[in-house]
Structure 1
Amino acid sequence: MKKVFVQLDATFSPSGELIPVSFVWEDGSKYIIDKVYDYKKAASLKVGGQGIRYRCRVMGKEVFIFFEEGRWFVEGK
């Protein structure tokens, strides 16, 4: 597995929380984030690194998206 750094669109909630909305995968495909379940400071046990981990639903699947040192990544194959 590897870190896949992605272009990500995010918005701020009225209370100031940073919420991811969609991202572009390395092949150029754009994915909409259907739901953000929660987020917390955590490490990626699969590919290494740590930051803010967002637990999301994308196309019916649970996906972890990380915000680490000003960049976004997803755990890729």
Structure 2
Amino acid sequence: MKDIKVLGSGCANCKTTTALIEQVVRDKGVAVNIDKIQDMQAIIAYGVLATPGVVVDGKVVHAGGVPQRDRIEAWLA
């Protein structure tokens, strides 16, 4: 099971990123745990300065803007 964290303040791009990840997860039938992290100190601790950020299994894989669907699919592979 993958552990995915979406880092962000809850802005529109953060919500879109979370929804897109959830959609890809449903489409792929992959088991994941998705957490939304909105605490700025926790976000900064990951070294993310541009949100939304995405962390997969403890590794920052994206920061700033909404990721493309194909990138999300690659994270789940």
Give the structure-2-normalised TM-score. Answer: 0.32
Give the structure-1-normalised TM-score. Answer: 0.32
Q: Which is richer in helix?
A: 2
- Greater relative contact order (CA < 8 Å, ≥ 6 in sequence): 2
Q: Which is richer in strand?
A: 1
